[in-house]
């Protein structure tokens, strides 16, 4: 099961969150799907920041529209720190369990 399907199931189980446009969900390219973006928009969750999947697009105008803004790139840099912590935890079986 890929990341977007898991996130879709988890979004169905969220019981409490603050409906606010300042909420930010950081994810990798696996979270880039129209279903997730539409669901977050309907939930009034906030912003989803992911590197957009280019989907073999050759049109330069469309490719430029998919680029992240500089503030979004800065926020996405912090995500890798979290990924490294989880990878480090998974390396130790007792902690992981």
Please check whether residue 36 is in contact with residue 8, taking contact to mean a CB–CB distance below 8 angstroms. Answer: yes
Can you read off the two tokens belonging to residue 63?
């490719």
Given a cut of 80, is residue 37 above it in pLDDT? yes
Q: How many CA atoms lie within 13 A of 12 on its CB side?
A: 6
Mean pLDDT of 87-94: 83
Distance from C-alpha of 5 to C-alpha of 41, rounded to nearest angstrom: 17
Percent residues over pLDDT 90 in the chain: 0
The residues, any chain, with a CB within 8 Å of residue 79's CB and separated by 6 or more, are 26, 27, 28
- Residue 54 — pLDDT band, cuts 50, 70, 90? low
Strand partners, 49: 26
């Amino acid at each position: 099961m890929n990341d977007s399907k898991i996130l879709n199931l988890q979004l169905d189980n969220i019981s409490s969150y603050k409906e606010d446009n300042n909420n930010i969900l950081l994810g990798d390219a696996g979270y880039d799907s129209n279903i997730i973006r539409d669901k977050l928009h309907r939930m009034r969750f906030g912003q989803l920041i992911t590197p957009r999947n280019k989907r073999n697009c050759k049109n330069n105008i469309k490719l430029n529209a998919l680029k992240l803004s500089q503030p979004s790139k800065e926020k996405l840099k912090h995500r890798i720190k979290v990924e490294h912590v989880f990878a480090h935890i998974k390396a130790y079986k007792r902690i992981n369990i």
